[in-house]
């Protein structure tokens, strides 16, 4: 089939080309999918999109009008796709549900370690030939309590790693994983209790109407004043405005994020020659105890390989008229 690959990045193209063993006619474009760029899909059977693309109602209507039958996501998250519109218009959508929980959780751990041991500041000092150690004191992770919000694929790898550090594990999820309780003595608790007791809080839930602004002023006010908050999931799970207030008032210890509430249209591009206008991001950047990476937790060789393989697996299944097990169903009704 003919596939238009939106938001294609140079680093992922070789992985995608290699995975295209069934020789679909593919075209890579840098443009993000939105209601304006949907017209580029005229003449194609399928589009492949990424987290920065906007498959909103209007975009999906246009894709339908232009003959698109399939949307193959190159991500696990699908909060950028209006599944209700896709299902009503008969467009099939599939994601890549399990490309590498290690990539994401290892990145979350690197944010924790970097913030706790003040690695960025230490390195900057050394580069300036300043070997003063004042202000670089961290804590042992051993014996500390980590609260894992979402104990699915990524959260459970996080549990395994942090158990290795000697941390006490708290978990919050709608369903409990018995394996984590038995293997790592993870204790499931309420979200409020997790927020009250944790020294580190790490988020591993998808963004949906239940998790939007899940961490807001109310929960932030319960946390320990030295808590380290980590978000590698989706920006809007934290209400950024409220976390900025908490930072301002010294109510939290540190914040490490790979995702940001308003990242769509900002991240994934070199904007170093532009005048920055994302105000909350600029405010966050001003804090020495805030560490931001540009949504690159997934960037490992293994994850990129599997994303490419699974994207083409979904397309191959559709071409054969088979329902892919990664097909997403709309549960909004």
Nearest alpha-carbon partner for 202 in 231, 233, 166: 231
Nearest alpha-carbon partner for 160 in 135, 179, 184: 184
Please count the other Cβ atoms lying within 10 Å of the Cβ belonging to residue 24.
17
Which residues pair with residue 291 across a beta bridge? Answer: 256
Q: From CA 89, how far away is CA 71, in angstroms rounded?
A: 12
Block residue for tokens 């920006």: 235
Block residue for tokens 């975009």: 59
Nearest distance in Å: CB 309, ligand COI: 14
Q: Which is nearer to ligand COI, 12 or 173 (CB)?
A: 12
Measured from each CB, the residue nearest to ligand COI is: 77
Which residues pair with residue 2 across a beta bridge? Answer: 25
**Identified catalytic residue from 295, 302, 306, 309:** 295
Nearest distance in Å: CB 221, ligand COI: 28
Q: Which is nearer to ligand COI, 12 or 199 (CB)?
A: 12
Q: Which is nearer to ligand COI, 51 or 240 (CB)?
A: 51
Please count the other Cβ atoms lying within 10 Å of the Cβ belonging to residue 329.
7
Q: From CA 25, how far away is CA 310, in angstroms rounded?
A: 17
Q: Which is nearer to ligand COI, 28 or 165 (CB)?
A: 28
Nearest distance in Å: CB 311, ligand COI: 10
Q: Which is nearer to ligand COI, 220 or 310 (CB)?
A: 310
Q: Which is nearer to ligand COI, 188 or 298 (CB)?
A: 298
**Identified catalytic residue from 107, 204, 234, 306:** 234
Q: Can 295 be counted among the known catalytic residues?
A: yes
Q: Say if residues 29 and 56 touch (Cβ distance below 8 Å).
A: no
Q: Can 117 be counted among the known catalytic residues?
A: no
Q: From CA 199, how far away is CA 205, in angstroms rounded?
A: 19
Nearest distance in Å: CB 146, ligand COI: 21
Q: CB within 8 A of 123, min separation 6: which ones?
A: none
Q: Can 12 be counted among the known catalytic residues?
A: no
What is the chain's Cα-based Rg?
A: 21
Please count the other Cβ atoms lying within 10 Å of the Cβ belonging to residue 31.
13
Nearest distance in Å: CB 141, ligand COI: 25
Enter the DSSP assignment of 134. T
- What residues line the site for ligand COI (CB under 6 A)? 50-51, 74-77, 298
Q: From CA 92, how far away is CA 63, in angstroms rounded?
A: 12
Residue 238 sits at φ, ψ, to 5 deg, of: -105, 135
At residue 75's C-alpha, the angle toward residues 263 and 26, to 5°, is 105
Nearest distance in Å: CB 326, ligand COI: 12
Active site (catalytic) residues: 234, 263, 295
């Amino acid at each position: 089939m003919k596939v238009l690959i939106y938001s294609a990045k140079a680093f992922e193209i070789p992985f995608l080309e290699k995975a295209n063993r069934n020789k679909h006619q593919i075209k890579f474009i840098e443009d993000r999918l939105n209601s304006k760029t949907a017209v580029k899909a005229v003449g194609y059977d399928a589009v492949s999109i990424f987290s920065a693309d906007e498959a909103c109602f209007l975009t999906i209507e246009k894709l339908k009008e232009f003959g698109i039958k399939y949307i193959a996501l190159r991500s696990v998250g699908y909060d950028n796709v209006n599944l209700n519109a896709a299902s009503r218009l008969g467009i099939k959508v599939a994601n890549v549900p399990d490309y590498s929980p290690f990539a994401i959780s290892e990145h979350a751990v690197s944010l924790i370690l970097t913030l706790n041991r003040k690695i960025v500041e230490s390195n900057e000092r050394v580069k300036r030939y300043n070997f003063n150690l004042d202000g670089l004191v961290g804590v042992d992770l051993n014996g500390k309590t980590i609260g894992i919000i979402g104990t699915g694929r990524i959260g459970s790898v996080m549990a395994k790693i942090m158990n290795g550090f000697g941390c006490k594990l708290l978990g919050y999820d709608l369903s409990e994983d018995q394996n984590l309780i038995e293997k790592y003595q993870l204790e499931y608790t309420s979200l409020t209790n997790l927020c009250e007791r944790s020294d580190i809080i790490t988020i591993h839930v998808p963004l949906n109407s239940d998790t939007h602004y899940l961490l807001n002023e109310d929960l932030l006010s319960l946390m320990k004043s030295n808590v380290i908050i980590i978000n590698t999931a989706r920006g809007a799970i934290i209400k950024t405005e409220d976390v900025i207030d908490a930072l301002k008032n010294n109510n939290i210890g540190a914040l490490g994020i790979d995702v940001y509430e308003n990242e769509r249209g900002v991240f994934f591009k070199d904007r170093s020659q532009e005048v920055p206008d994302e105000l909350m991001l600029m405010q966050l950047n001003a804090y020495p105890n805030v560490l931001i990476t540009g949504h690159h937790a997934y960037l490992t060789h293994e994850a990129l390989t599997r994303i490419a393989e699974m994207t083409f697996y979904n397309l191959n299944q559709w071409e054969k008229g088979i329902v892919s097990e990664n097909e997403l169903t709309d549960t909004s009704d």
